[in-house]
Amino acid sequence: MINLDLLKQELIRDEGARYSVYQDHLGYWTIGVGRLVDRRKGGRLRQDEVEVLLHNDIQACIEDVHNEPWFRSLDTDNRRRAILNMRFQLGAAGIRTFKTSLRLIAEGRFKEAGVNLRKSLWYRQTPERAERIIQMIEGG
């Protein structure tokens, strides 16, 4: 039998625990506790790990916006998903820069919000994604 808790402690002691990507002593990209992710050495994340990261990121987005009036006012799943997609892409601070559009959304003026969103740098930088999101907001 292997004492996995003790092994974890030993590995954390020897490898260190990092909460962002870093280069190890050989210059290879690594995360967590010595987890090689550098493609040059065959490192990668497994599908289940990507799904765990995505799940956690989605939960963080939901927690961030769930009390906002512009989110609470949304009346359809499509609109809620659209706003969460924006929040995921833009981050907590980024989505909040859309003050006029978010106010229009909170007021249920979805077409006007769409017009306003199409004037943004976000729309110009990622037009296909932005258009899909705006159509979800406008169409409900």
Residues linked to residue 31 through DSSP beta bridges, in sequence order: 35
63 is catalytic: no
Residues linked to residue 35 through DSSP beta bridges, in sequence order: 31
- Please classify residue 101 by burial: count the beta carbons closer than 10 Å to its beta carbon, then call 0-12 exposed, 13-18 middle and 19+ buried: buried
- In this structure, are residues 36 and 43 in contact, taking their beta carbons and an 8 Å threshold? yes
Residue with tokens 């998903």: 81
Dihedral angle of Cα 78, 65, 74, 95, to the nearest 10 degrees: -70
24 is catalytic: yes
* Residue of 5, 10, 14, 15 with catalytic role: 15
Q: Catalytic site residues?
A: 15, 24
